[in-house]
Chains A and B, each alone.
Chain A
Amino acid sequence: MNLVNQIAKSLLQPLLAILVGLAAGAVAIMIVGGSVVDTYAEMWKGAFGSFYFFTNTLARATPIILIGLGVALAFRAGFFNLGAEGQLILGGLSAALTALHVPGPGWLKLTLAIIAGIIAAGIWSAFAGWLDTRFRMNLLITTLLLNYIAVYFASYMVSHPFMDRTGSAAMAQTPMVENAAWLPKLFQGMSVHAGFLFAMIGTILLFLYIRYTVSGYEVRMLGGNPLFASYGGVRRGRLMLISMFVSGGLAGLAGAAEVLGTQYRFIDGSLSAPGYAWSGIMATLLASSHPIGTALAALLLAALQTGGMGVERNTDVPLEISSLIQAVLILFVSARISYSFIKNRKKARAAADGSST
């Protein structure tokens, strides 16, 4: 009974947030003169209406889940890793270049490409962690800065040395990866690819790691109270490097999966334009860094985004209705701390009244 109560309580807040988000969306729809019911019906259809749209949503959720998991791990350890974008892009770039230039059979290329994506992004992320532990440079700022460096570096790589010069169109992109090295699709003709399985496995592994391992406990302790953790003998620097490496590695995996499973080449700007990185960060924030919650929140955000496309196709309400709902949702959730805060203040006031009388 107690457990049920607890679960209900932890679900109440996100559900309330979703309701508030949808209500805000409804107001916006009414302002542009659309029908609220029709628009939300279209949104539902666009996200889950048919098997095709459903797999579409899953495909969009894949990178968001992976990024969200990585960010969640870093947040749990108390590190604000805002570098998901750069890590995602470096992961995608290294995967594409590895798949293009390593000789061997397709499966070997695929495996090496994914590993390369994870390692490149992991090192990039751990570099920011190293700057923090070794030189005490604020991680939040360095990860933000490293984003831009990665974005411009990748843009240079695909517009100069590794540009696709075979086609007639002079686009900044690499040549196409050969067919054998593609990540297989889960269903014939659907857009969801094997990367989604990685996301699922990653969710479960991260959940078990944080919940049941000693090192996972250290991560939680470090995030909860760094002074207590250092008193208890947790080596912050080592743990930071490891958790940042894994965090970046997950973002890199997202990039690699996106390149090898959907686009089959690295196109300049194609990974940053859909806003995967910030969506992943939002998913983590929505679920307060709980791995399974993060996966669900990522699915919700992906559904909002694909649903928004459905709205755009079939009604006069613009696609951006989804980003409005997303933003209101996240604003509402971020104020969650306030409830406990207000409660505490009331309690304190009550206690003060009690003592004065």
Chain B
Amino acid sequence: MDLLLDATLYSSTLRAVTPILLAALGGALCARVGLFNVGLEGLILIGAFSAIVGNHLTGNIWLALLFAMTCVMMFSLLFAYMTIHLKANVIVVGVALNFLALGLTTFSLRAIFDVKGSYVDRNMVGLPRWEIPLIHDIPWIGRVVSGHSPLVYFGLLMVVLLYVYMFRTVSGFRLRAAGENPIASRSLGIRVTQYQYGAMIACGALCGLAGAQLSLGQLTLFTEGMTNGRGFIALVATMLGQSNPLGVGASSLLFGFMGSLSTRLQGMALPTQFTSMLPFVVTLLAMFFFRNKSQLADARRSNESSR
């Protein structure tokens, strides 16, 4: 019981959840315009690497963040071009992008820093920790909520902002319409392609930040393949949250909590494999209870069998 009341557990949850949350929000945007983004993992990895490169080149944390966002946006632009203009299969391009990211980052690690495995630089500045003035002094809550990197707060803010955007603005409504029924939206004069590009690029920016939090948030280092499946967990969070920002936020928090709990439970009676497995089981169950669409309707809408 002591364990569940420990403030550091929740504080580490917030930290662990941020990369997943940011990427999952990006994935939700893509899913809303009808692009199922399997490449999140690769985009985060590129973000993590380019954040380190940006930091190394400029020595300024904010420029590094900007650099990471720009780099990942270029890759998501490539993704968008191939899927929207060249009509390549979204899943295929996503899988290829993951490979490209893994190969490219490891290769560039050797090419730029001339190291293998991981790169650490003590002189590099990590993301600052923000102590929030009033909240910091509240006994338990202060230790949980205060003292995180700005990206942690940005992620939480984005949940609300994206929710408002998607469900309370005209543009957001059009974005959802573009994904829901592209043909009908086109006939109403909605520029579907523009919305798709916009969503992909925004997803790139969010994944860039997710990667930056990963490589600059806690420790300033980059390791080969350091995303370690987080992109896929983000994808699962997107699906569990039904691409609704609030839902995505809640499911990301659940996954982050499970992650922190499983590291905490190491060495105790319960094997960690089961706590790590739990998010995926929960998602399966959630899919079971929230299923609604029929496969024939899906096939009819996309006019192809591969889903």
Contact = CB atoms under 8 A, between A and B. Distances in A.
**5 closest residue pairs by CB, A with B:** A78-B305, A323-B103, A327-B100, A338-B86, A156-B273
A320 B91 contact: no
B287 interface: yes
The DSSP consensus for interface residues of chain B is helix
B293 interface: yes
Given A278-B95, A318-B106, A335-B88, A149 B277 contact: yes
B95 to A, nearest CB: 6
Contacts of A138: 287, 307
Nearest to A330: B96
Contacts of A80: 91, 306-307
Contact of B296 (A141, A227, A338): A227
B118 to A, nearest CB: 14
A326 B296 CA distance: 35
Interface of A: 28, 31-32, 75, 78, 80, 82, 131-132, 135-142, 144-146, 148-149, 152-153, 155-156, 159-160, 222-227, 230, 278, 281-282, 285, 318, 320-324, 326-328, 330-331, 334-338, 341
B280 interface: yes
25 contacts: A82-B91, A132-B295, A135-B291, A136-B295, A141-B239, A142-B284, A149-B281, A153-B277, A156-B271, A156-B273, A159-B271, A160-B271, A225-B305, A226-B296, A226-B299, A227-B296, A318-B116, A323-B99, A323-B103, A327-B96, A331-B93, A331-B96, A331-B100, A335-B82, A338-B86
Contacts of B236: 141, 144-145
B95 A148 contact: no
Contacts of A78: 305-307
B99 to A, nearest CB: 4
Given A145-B236, A320-B110, A328 B100 contact: yes
Given A282-B95, A318-B116, A327-B96, A223 B82 contact: no
B291 A137 contact: yes
B232 interface: yes
Interface in B249-300: 271, 273-274, 276-277, 280-281, 283-284, 287-288, 291, 293-296, 299-300
B111 interface: yes
Given A225-B305, A227-B299, A334 B271 contact: no
B104 interface: yes
B91 A140 contact: yes
Contact of B99 (A75, A225, A330): A330
Contacts of A330: 92, 95-96, 99
Contacts of B102: 320, 323
A49 to B, nearest CB: 23
Contacts of B307: 78, 80, 138-140
Interface string B28-59: 00000000100000000000000000000000
The DSSP consensus for interface residues of chain A is helix
Nearest to A229: B305
Nearest to B100: A327
Nearest to A222: B305
Contact of A155 (B92, B103, B273): B273
Contacts of A136: 291, 293-295
Interface of B: 36, 82, 85-89, 91-93, 95-100, 102-104, 106-107, 110-111, 116, 229, 232, 235-236, 239, 271, 273-274, 276-277, 280-281, 283-284, 287-288, 291, 293-296, 299-300, 305-307
Nearest to B93: A334
Contacts of A320: 102-104, 106-107, 110
B14 to A, nearest CB: 23
Contacts of B288: 131, 135, 137
A32 B100 contact: no
B305 A224 contact: yes
Given A137-B288, A321-B107, A337 B88 contact: yes
A268 B294 CA distance: 38
Nearest to A324: B103
Contacts of B295: 132, 136
A80 B306 CA distance: 6
A270 B288 CA distance: 32
Residue from the set B89, B92, B229 with the largest chain A CB neighbour count within 10 Å: B92
Contact of A337 (B87, B96, B106, B273): B87
Contacts of B284: 137, 142, 145-146, 149
Contact of A338 (B87, B110, B271): B87
Contacts of A278: 95, 98-99
A282 B99 contact: yes
Contacts of B296: 226-227, 230
A331 B274 CA distance: 36
Contacts of A141: 236, 239, 287
